Amino acid sequence: MDISASLQANNEQLYALWSENSGLVVSLQTTLLDQILPNVVDELEIDPEDVKGAREWLQDVGSVFRMLKRHKFTSAFALETMRTTILWRLTNIPRQPPTSRPSDLIYCLAPPTSDTFGRPVLILRLASLNDSSDSTKGYLIYVIETLRGHLQDINSEMRTGEKRLILQYTLIVDMQDVSMRNINLDLLKWYIREIVPRFPGMLAAVFVINFSWTHASLWNLVKRILPEPALSKVLFPTMKGLHDVVPTSSLPQEYGGQLPKLKDVTNIVTIPDEPSSPSLDGRTVSHTDAHRPSPPANFAAAPRISPRSRYNPFFGYPISPHAPASGSSIPHLHHGRRRKRDLARTLTILWWKRWKTPLVFGLYLFLALCCVGARSQRWHWARLLTHPVFVRSHQLMNRLAKA
């Protein structure tokens, strides 16, 4: 089976899954919007603008479907993952485009450019990747969120029943002038660990072009890291095989296409020189920015998390949100260590919550018994003092005392 036929079969299978599970997608989306998001907002006291951004993400049926597909359409697993992803997005998705980014690294060709299945086309030029710092990670998060929003925008502009939803991209990886210094395995591991679980299934196929025998050793390293589902999407087509899937009308001149050169085509993920600028060439800077005002900081303010919140990875200990630019999604301990006093406080609070009702009931019961006992004791002494034997004994003692 040639590449085009194989991708056609995969595409039909994807939309068959969508048809079978669209009702489940709507049900999960309703639960997330009506129950999970309000609970998270109450728990973390999220800023209204962040709530708006989270709601916009949850309204993306493509994201909900891809998350369900990743978890084999098990609603409970997908629900839990999306709930934790809400928290991840609050502290990692930038409100403004990053000021530092690799040049000419990723291109998203603007509509109506697409492959033969109607999917948008991405081009990744690995030769431009010379840095794996935190700024590059922040840039990649910005790009992947912009691409997610681009798919959502495309689908929202479709009229009901007009076309199939666009759920994925086709990625072309250009290996021209790539050397060992352009391949950072730590960055790739970070991407697989941090990004893929939050943005699953966005790529339908990865075409590696300009690949030569000098890149064989690089590929041997990379394929040991990639998970099996990702490996199955990596293809090494000839130029003719590429044109069978991505027509020349949707390719720049460098790849045998009819479009202008890559540097001259319209790029959806282009970042303006001034991050605060609302648009570039009449286009919105990013999908997220269209819904949020730009604050002074580049990243959303991290929500406050209680030491005993179920969202606290160090349950029982106070934490401080991490610096988003670090690329890690795990907050750190506020005092740098697990203090015994924090543990004792947490255990005391949990013990009190567990036994509060029986202890209070027991205390009231004890006080009631004491009151009853005191009244009974006073009545007993009153009867004893008026008893004839006690009276005669008292009189006898008085006579002896006078004698």
Domain positions in the chain are 1-92, 101-272
Q: Band of the pLDDT at 221, cuts 50, 70, 90?
A: confident
372 or 186, which is more confident: 186
In the DSSP assignment, the letter for residue 249 is G
pLDDT of 298: 44
Q: Per residue in 60-70, is it b (16+ CB within 10 Å) or e — as a string?
A: bbbbbbbbbbb
Q: Band of the pLDDT at 378, cuts 50, 70, 90?
A: low
Q: Band of the pLDDT at 326, cuts 50, 70, 90?
A: very low
Give the integer Cα–Cα distance in Å for 61 and 152. Answer: 8
Contact (Cβ atoms closer than 8 angstroms) between residue 85 and residue 198: yes
pLDDT of 304: 58
pLDDT of 131: 62
Whether residue 275 is predicted with pLDDT greater than 60 in this model: the reply is no
Give the integer Cα–Cα distance in Å for 91 and 87. Answer: 7
Tokens 């991505």, located at residue: 246
Contact (Cβ atoms closer than 8 angstroms) between residue 175 and residue 120: no
Question: Model pTM?
Answer: 0.68
260 preceded by a cis bond (ω within 30 of 0):
no
Give the 3-state secondary structure of residue 63.
helix
Q: Band of the pLDDT at 108, cuts 50, 70, 90?
A: very high
The lowest-confidence range among 32-46, 302-316, 318-332, 353-367 is 318-332
pLDDT of 341: 82
Pick the CATH number of 101-272 from 3.40.50.1100, 3.30.70.3270, 3.40.525.10, 3.90.230.10: 3.40.525.10
Contact (Cβ atoms closer than 8 angstroms) between residue 109 and residue 266: yes
pLDDT of 279: 38
Q: What is the four-CA torsion angle of 282, 285, 288, 289, rounded to 10 degrees?
A: -80
Section 231-237 average pLDDT:
91
Whether residue 292 is predicted with pLDDT greater than 80 in this model: the reply is no
pLDDT of 276: 41
403 or 192, which is more confident: 192
Q: Band of the pLDDT at 287, cuts 50, 70, 90?
A: very low
Whole-angstrom distance between the N-terminal and C-terminal Cα of the chain? 132
Whether residue 152 is predicted with pLDDT greater than 60 in this model: the reply is yes
User: For residue 29, which of 92, 87, 69, 82 has the smallest C-alpha distance?
Assistant: 82
Q: Band of the pLDDT at 278, cuts 50, 70, 90?
A: very low
Q: Band of the pLDDT at 333, cuts 50, 70, 90?
A: low
User: For residue 237, which of 11, 12, 4, 14 has the smallest C-alpha distance?
Assistant: 4
The lowest-confidence range among 7-11, 36-40, 301-305 is 301-305
pLDDT of 161: 53
State the average pLDDT for the chain: 79
Give the integer Cα–Cα distance in Å for 192 and 178. Answer: 21
Give the CA distances from residue 254 to residues 176, 215, 250, 297, in Å, rounded to whole numbers and listed in that order.
11, 20, 12, 39
User: For residue 202, which of 26, 21, 70 has the smallest C-alpha distance?
Assistant: 70
Whether residue 328 is predicted with pLDDT greater than 60 in this model: the reply is no
